[in-house]
A = this chain, B = another copy of it.
Amino acid sequence: MSRTLTSTPAADGFHVPSELGPHAGCWMLWPERPDNWRRRALPAQLAFAAVARAIARFEPVTVGASAGQYRRARASLPPAVRVLEISSDDAWMRDVGPTFLVDAQARTRGVQWRFNAWGGLYEDYALDADVAQKVLELAGCERYCAPLVTEGGAIHVDGQGTALVTEQSLLDPRRNPGLDRGRVQRLLERYLGVSRVIWLGEGVVEDETAGHIDNLACFARPGEVCLTWTEDVRDPQRRVCAAALERLLEARDARGRRLRVHRIPSPGPLYLTWREARGILPRPGIRALRPGRRLAASYINFYAPNGALLMPLLDTRTDAAARRALQHVFPRRRIIGVPAAREILLGGGNLHCITQQQPLASGRS
């Protein structure tokens, strides 16, 4: 069923479509690890369930859970959400799931990236490393195995030949120590089916993924980018945003267009509270989660199911402005705020990180 192909997507006429195009559905995983999610992941499970329920109003959702969590996941989710056994080390489907591709014949395939737990954040990641293969087998899609250590959250595309990445994550020596920028760029071109890669520098500060683009910036549509933005010159995040803006304004996309940049206000800065930190089971070799640690919060980490946009609600001081900004960029999408987003943020990501859309292949490019 899920045959492994030895060619490349570009050679076979496949490309990654815009994630704002039509979806066949959404894949998610079920959180459980007590050394990352506080209080034995129970609040996170409620948060993930709320997200799955919200997405299921717009497109089919599948949630993968371990055998041990299956009954709990099944009981926590409505019948409209499909619950299957897919074990993971942690529940970041964006990063461990496949990156789906389509072609002009309306076929869907997938790329499995090499996975090493974001450059070694965990020691054991054998389950995470197999998630993409399992999802592609479930989806009935043929698979490309890219010889590049990266994650779905490290990559955005416009669906018209342009990719958007950060140097911090794609050129991370803990991921691909042997690969230089030219080689990484060629691999991205071949496996994403793009002809232009726009390189930003660093990602959001304190992001444990080491600079994933999906917390910093994303395409709103071809020629338009959303960028998380702060005016606060005392915030170290300010420098990152300004540098990203500068590169975006200098860039041209695959079709030679200059980019229009929408600045989406940043929340916070937000910090892990003492109360939140104390619910996390410490384990040797796993990141320390100390009170006062800055959280890598960003409204860019949204998920857009068919016809809607789920945005994380993170900070009452900025939520309304961010919602207005996103509604302005996406006037036809119904914006839905997710109050449980802080719980997901505590685990190290947000709505985009815990979801992976499967495109509805239409045959149009």
Contacts and interface: CB of A to CB of B under 8 A. Distances in A.
Contacts of A133: 74
Contacts of A84: 84-85, 134, 137-138
B3 A79 contact: yes
A-side binding surface: helix, strand, loop or mixed? mixed
Interface string A77-118: 001111111110000000000000000000000000000000
Interface in A124-152: 126-127, 130, 133-134, 137-138
Nearest to A66: B67
A80 B1 CA distance: 5
A66 B67 CA distance: 8
Contacts of A66: 67
Nearest to A79: B3
Interface in A1-41: 1-4
Contacts of A71: 126, 130
A271 interface: no
A2 B79 contact: yes
A298 B126 CA distance: 41
A70 interface: yes
B79 A4 contact: yes
A85 B82 contact: no
A126 B69 CA distance: 12
Closest 8 CB pairs of A and B: A67-B87, A85-B85, A1-B82, A3-B79, A82-B137, A85-B86, A67-B127, A85-B87
Given A1-B82, A70-B87, A84-B134, 11 more contacts: A1-B79, A1-B80, A2-B82, A66-B67, A67-B67, A67-B87, A67-B127, A70-B130, A71-B126, A83-B137, A85-B86
